[in-house]
Amino acid sequence: MAAGAPWGYVPMSDFAIGKRAIAICDRCGQQYLLKELKKLFINGQQVNTKVCPSCWEPDHPQNQLGRYPVRDPQALRDPRSDAPEREASREITVPGGGTVEDYIQDSFPV
């Protein structure tokens, strides 16, 4: 026997079951059974809104921006121009200055 008062009263929830309770959708205003309405979550938080199955939508991932760190750098290391007609885009620099030919001769003597 369940614990409770000696006359058989078993404490249950403070709320009625309400299986035939009628409710209004907070979004569209149509009438539904209360048990058909679903709670709405926005940004992982339950908002005090109950909506019908046609109005209900899952919490969109874009609502959770900033919750997790996202590393998405935009800058490129040592970028090159995409305009080949510009002379500067094809300029080759060598360590210490000078020309490319001198650098190659110094690096790989024959």
Task: Summarize as ranges the residues that interact with Zn ion (CB under 5 A).
Answer: 25, 27-28, 52, 55
By beta-carbon proximity to Zn ion, the closer residue of 21 and 28 is 28
110 vs 102: CA distance, rounded Å: 13
By beta-carbon proximity to Zn ion, the closer residue of 27 and 103 is 27
Other CB atoms within 10 Å distance of the CB of residue 24: 14
Whether 51 contacts 27, CB under 8 Å: yes
By beta-carbon proximity to Zn ion, the closer residue of 36 and 102 is 36
- Residue 47 Cβ vs Zn ion, minimum distance, rounded to whole Å: 15
> What are residue 85's DSSP bridge partners?
none
- Residue 12 Cβ vs Zn ion, minimum distance, rounded to whole Å: 30
- Residue 4 Cβ vs Zn ion, minimum distance, rounded to whole Å: 40
By beta-carbon proximity to Zn ion, the closer residue of 31 and 93 is 31
- Residue 53 Cβ vs Zn ion, minimum distance, rounded to whole Å: 8
